Amino acid sequence: MANDGVCPVKIPVNHVILNGDLCLPKGADGLVVFAHGSGSSRLSPRNRRVASALRNAGLGTLLFDLLTEDEESVDNITGELRFNIPFLAERLVAVTEWLEKQPEVPDLPIGYFGASTGAAAALAAAAVLPKYVSAVVSRGGRLDLAMRRLKEVKAPTLLIVGGADTEVLQMNKRAMERLETAKELVVVPGATHLFEEPGAMEEVERLAASWFLKYLTAARSR
């Protein structure tokens, strides 16, 4: 695999295959796994923007589909999987365990970047894998869906919420009270749930890169 390019990967999880895009810049300080929000995929333009910024900062990235194409087709009609956080977290755990076994992946500390419902899945998975996951960043996280698992999270966690995303902001404030690890809540003034306002995604990129570099670099030095 070329160290500087994006490599398409097929990830076996139980009885299905998930599609992913893995990129490992030379000398990467860590690897960030993305968990997309409901109704999205590894092709999410917002997550891909963040992933590009993280690679420019010297971090590897893995974007993958939480659902197969068949599952997406069913979920688009029923919505039965996109809010099933235990199911999505189980997928993320399995993908992380697969990643740890790949010979192309050096012994790098792992972080999770989760958006919306994907952030709930990321924190639930981090609670299961405290030895593997060294940092978590949540963008507009639906953390009400993972509230029962938050006390189990050991990874340092950054919550990024738009100031105009009032309902989700209240969820994240409640989540801050339950998290018992290193944590920070940053409110991006005027931003709504998708951070579509001018400069909002740039701020998400900056905050995420800073958090991951701080904690993944520290984990690697240990």
Q: How far apart are CA 45 and CA 133, in angstroms?
A: 24
The pair of structure tokens assigned to 220 is 């690697």
Q: Quote the longest CA-to-CA distance of the chain.
A: 47
Return d(Cα 58, Cα 222) in angstroms, integer.
19
pLDDT lower than 70: segments of the chain = 1-4, 39
Confidence (pLDDT) at 1: 39
Give the C-alpha separation, 219 to 222, whole Å: 5
**pLDDT score recorded for residue 39:** 67
HEC-encoded secondary structure of the chain: CCCCCEEEEEEEECCEEEEEEEECCCCCCCEEEEECCCCCCCCCHHHHHHHHHHHHCCCEEEEECCCCHHHHHHHHHHCCCCCCHHHHHHHHHHHHHHHHCCCCCCCCCEEEEEECHHHHHHHHHHHHCCCCEEEEEEECCCHHHHHHHHHHCCCCEEEEEECCCHHHHHHHHHHHHHCCCCEEEEEECCCCCCCCCCCHHHHHHHHHHHHHHHHHHHHHHC
Q: Which CATH number is 6-221's, of 3.30.360.10, 3.30.1280.10, 3.30.70.520, 3.40.50.1820?
A: 3.40.50.1820
In DSSP terms, 62 is beta-bridged to 22, 33
pLDDT at 31 (0 to 100): 97
Closest CA to 113 of 205, 185, 183: 205
Q: What is the pLDDT of residue 222?
A: 73
List, in sequence order, every residue forming a beta bridge with 167; answer none if it has no partner. none
Spatial separation of the C-alpha atoms in residues 109 and 132, rounded to whole Å: 7
Domain boundaries, the chain: 6-221
pLDDT per position as a tens digit, 178-206? 999 999 999 999 999 999 999 999 999 99
CA atoms 137, 107, 214, 1: torsion sign: negative
60-64 and 16-23: which strand pairing?
Answer: antiparallel
Q: Which pLDDT does position 5 carry in this prediction?
A: 72
